[in-house]
Every structure is written in C-alpha cells, then in structure tokens.
Amino acid sequence: MRDRGFLKTYRHKHIGNKGFSLVELIVIIAIVAVSASATTISMSSLYSFHVKQCAYDIDALLSKCKVGVMSKEGNVYLRLYNGTDGIYGEYFEAGIAVANEKIANDTVSISYISSNGDTINTIGTGGLYISFDRTTGSLLTLGEAATLGGATVGDEGYYSTAIIVESGEKNVTVRIVPTTGKHFIES
C-alpha cells in the first residue's frame, strides 16, 4: 500500500510540469554566454602572451647578435626561420650555429618590412638573416647578412627595418634603425 501511495503522490505533483520555464532558459543562456566570452578572452590573452614573448625573444637575440659581432672574430649573424612546429632563432658565431631555440609556436607568424617599404608576408623556411657592421654597429643589408650564412635574397640592397610578430588580431613590432643598429619593441 505504501508503494501505491508514493506513486500516486509523485504522479500528482508532476502532472503540470511539462518543461523548463522561461526564467530557467534565460538563466542557462546567460551562463553559456558568460562562459563563451570568458573562453574568448582567455584565448586572446594566450595569443597576446605568445606574441609579446616572441617579440622579446627576437629583441634579445638581436642584442646578442650585435654584441657578438662587436666582440667576436668571424661571421656572427642571426637567422629567424619557420620550422615545422613554430618559429626558430638560430645564432651563429664564426659560421657555426651556437644556439638554435624555438621562440614561438605555430600559431605565431613573423613578417618583416624592408627599407624599400615592402612587407614580406612570412619569413619562410629559408629565413631572415640579420647581422651588424663590426666597426659601426649599424645594420647590414639583407643581402650582406644572408651572404654570411651562405644564402642569397631577392632584396639584397635593402635593410630589414621592422620585424612584425602576429597571432590572430594581436601584433607587436620590433623596430630596427639601420644606421645605428638600435632596436626596440613597439606594441
């Protein structure tokens, strides 16, 4: 008997309940919207972090290269290139690779602006060669730097005046002043 009473009561309480109320649906939609916006913000922050970190790594490699040129014997240069899983910075002293480090994952891309105003969309697997003059510290042309690495480039008489690091809508520029070799980061 007790079991029948329980079923009768249970059926009686839930006869008019046919679904969710409008208030419950609005609350669920609001929760989903807040979760989606939080995910978007966190992904944007992650891309922003990768872009800034890559720009700082390039700036540090440029400093290392300039100091190396001014203080070491032989050809000292830097090569930035696209690897299979991201962007790499390779540092050479006397023509030998001393350091080869991954500076960004494959969500980040790098392009550069040459002194003739052309923007080269990606650095590619061949890479971007950068070096400095031993006596003045000024930037070598793209062709002169590539020659140190045994490579040739199409815009050999020009300088790389900016390296643009980007991912999604976020980009950071590493500016290089050809006459002095000074470099700095612009957000």
| CATH code assigned at 126 | 3.55.40
Number of structural domains in the chain: 1
* Percent of the chain clearing pLDDT 70 (strictly above): 83
Give tens-digit pLDDT for 22-77. Answer: 888 888 888 888 887 777 666 666 667 889 999 999 999 999 999 999 998 889 99
Give the separation between CA 167 and CA 107, rounded to whole angstroms.
Answer: 6
Q: Tell me what pLDDT residue 139 has.
A: 94
Please say if the pLDDT value at position 141 is more than 70: yes
**Percentage of the chain surpassing pLDDT 90?**
40
Q: Residue 116: what pLDDT?
A: 85
pLDDT greater at residue 120 or residue 7: 120
Is residue 110, in this structure, part of any structural domain at all? yes
Establish if 10 belongs to a structural domain: no
SS (H, E, C) 94-153: CCEEEEEEEEEECCCEEEEEECCCCEECCCCCCCEEECECCCCCCECCHHHHHHHCCCCC
Give the containing element (helix H, strand E) for 53: helix 22-71
pLDDT at 164: 93
- Return mean pLDDT, the chain: 84
pLDDT band at 79; cut points 50, 70, 90:
very high
**pTM (2 d.p.):** 0.75
Domain-located, residue 24: no
Does 76 reside within a domain? yes
149 part of a folded domain: yes
Residue 87 lies in a domain: yes
Give the pair of three-digit tokens for residue 100: 């080869």
Predicted confidence at residue 36, as pLDDT, reads 78
Region 121-145: what's the mean pLDDT?
Answer: 87
Most confident of 4-8, 30-34, 78-82, 115-119: 78-82
Q: Do the domain assignments include residue 18?
A: no
**Domain range spanning residue 107?**
50-186
Given a cut of 80, whether residue 12 has pLDDT beyond it is no
- Confirm whether 3 is domain-assigned: no
For residue 1, give the H/E element and its range: none
